[in-house]
């Protein structure tokens, strides 16, 4: 009977497999002095397991690097805008068990578009690095002004909503 279980499991898994199709456009330029611009656009089948349920995504990233204090300090500024749409929540990969989980629903559930802005500033002096990163800057601003609005989002009903995150990193490399 154990073989029948595995046959059933395998057959059910094969029935749900949707082929991955994707078109990706990537453009990067540094025509403007001290400013790198990167554009990513992805159009893919949102029902494929490899797509994470995201049909279309657009990303615009800006980065600038410069030196201060007689070239002793390197400064890097990075900002990005991400837009996700045609988001299907009928499946996701369980992060603990690493298996596909399907949301059984009679209707095809599509989530609203998701917009997020992320930023990072980092600096280096000799062997000392410090950086500060903000993820979902819109939510950070809304919470700091005690707004009743929120910029939380989720990709699947069984997963918790994603909010904001701030990270400070300090790294000091010593030589022997």
Q: Which tens digit of pLDDT belongs to each residue from 10-56?
A: 445 555 567 778 888 999 998 888 899 999 999 988 777 777 778 88
Whether 173 shows a pLDDT value over 80: the answer reads yes
Tokens encoding 137 = 């800057």
Residue carrying the six token digits 């790294």? 171
- Of the candidates 20, 46, 15, 63, the one whose C-alpha atom is nearest the C-alpha of residue 114 is 46
Please give the Cα distance from 27 to 36 (Å, whole number): 11
- Of the candidates 139, 121, 138, the one whose C-alpha atom is nearest the C-alpha of residue 130 is 121
Which among 16-20, 124-128, 153-157, 162-166 has the top mean pLDDT? 124-128
Please work out, in degrees rounded to the nearest 5, the angle formed at the alpha carbon of residue 46 by the alpha carbons of 40 and 47.
155
- Of the candidates 19, 17, 86, the one whose C-alpha atom is nearest the C-alpha of residue 46 is 86
Residue carrying the six token digits 């992805």? 42
Tens of pLDDT, residue by residue over 98-148, are 777 766 554 555 667 888 899 999 999 999 999 999 998 888 888 788 877
């Amino acid at each position: 009977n154990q073989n029948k279980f595995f046959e059933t499991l395998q057959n059910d898994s094969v029935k749900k497999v949707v082929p991955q199709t994707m078109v990706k456009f990537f453009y990067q330029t540094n025509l403007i002095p001290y400013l790198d611009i990167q554009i990513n656009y992805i159009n893919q089948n949102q029902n494929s397991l490899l797509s994470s349920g995201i049909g279309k995504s657009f990303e615009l990233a800006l980065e600038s690097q410069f030196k201060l204090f007689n070239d002793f300090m390197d400064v890097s500024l990075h900002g990005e805008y991400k837009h996700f749409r045609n988001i299907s929540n009928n499946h996701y990969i369980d992060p603990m068990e690493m298996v596909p989980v399907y949301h059984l629903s009679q209707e095809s559930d599509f989530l609203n578009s998701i917009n997020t802005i992320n930023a990072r500033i980092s600096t280096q002096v000799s062997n000392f690095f410090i950086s500060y990163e903000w993820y979902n800057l819109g939510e950070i601003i809304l919470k700091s002004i005690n707004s009743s609005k929120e910029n939380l989002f989720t990709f699947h009903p069984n997963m918790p909503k994603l909010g904001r995150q701030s990270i400070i990193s300090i790294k000091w490399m010593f030589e022997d």
